[in-house]
Amino acid sequence: MLQNRKQFIIDLENLNNKVINMGKEVIMSYKNTVIACEENNLDLAKDIMKQDKLINDIEISINVDAYLLIAKQCPVASDLRGIITGLKISNDLERIGDYAVNIAKYILKTKHDNSTYIGAIIKLIDHIVNMLEGIMEAFKNENIELALEISDLDEVLDHEYEKEVKKIFMIGKKTTDIETEEAMRALLILKQIERAGDHITNIAENIVYLVNGRRVELN
């Protein structure tokens, strides 16, 4: 029985390490989107899309490990929280990674001048990188206080997003069809980044659940 418990702890640590590594890959994807935006680096944009397969593969591996742990160990409530949290966080990370892919596609498909909007996109991505680094640190250390601080940053992101949306709508009313098209494409990307912030808040909620077993609504 004791040996089984030791093995369970090892397996759960391995599961958490995979979640942490998945977070690192997603953070790297977003850092690369900043560089790709700044330099209009099409090769790097393609690399971001390729990296998404690795992120997806890690999520699949986490799912398999989690289901095997549940099936083999029949964990008690506190242990089950750890497994469920790993599953849920990996799912949110996968969605956040998908938004990075969409940014990469935006870069690849941009045919006209988007210099009016690229600064806003980069600013919001930088905010996401900061939130991601903080929330993964909170998960690693089971730090509720830090998780709540990162969740609060989503309000700052929402404010910046709303401010940029207003600017884009004003531009869209006064420009040519081509410029309006670029404005709308940028708007869609900004919305994706804003949604990434919502998923980070979901991760914060799951960290609270992991530590004290309480479900909270932070969004």
Question: In this predicted structure, what is the pLDDT of residue 149?
Answer: 96
Question: In this predicted structure, what is the pLDDT of residue 173?
Answer: 65
SS3 assignment, position 114: coil
Sketch the domain layout of the chain as residue ranges: 2-212
DSSP class of residue 210 equals H
DSSP class of residue 175 equals S
Phi, psi of 10 (to 5 degrees): -60, -45
Query: In angstroms, rounded to a whole number, what is the distance separating the alpha carbons of residues 204 and 195?
Result: 14
Q: What is the mean pLDDT of each run of 10 residues along the chain (219 residues)?
A: 74 95 98 96 96 96 93 80 95 98 96 88 97 98 96 96 88 72 91 97 96 82
Burial class (CB in 10 A: 0-12, 13-18, 19+), 195: middle
In the chain, the N- to C-terminal Cα span, in Å, equals 41
Give the pair of three-digit tokens for residue 188.
């869609």
Q: Does domain 2-212 have CATH number 1.20.58.220?
A: yes
SS3 assignment, position 59: helix
- Degrees to nearest 5, angle at CA 8 with 77 and 89: 60
Question: In this predicted structure, what is the pLDDT of residue 3?
Answer: 61
Question: In this predicted structure, what is the pLDDT of residue 182?
Answer: 86
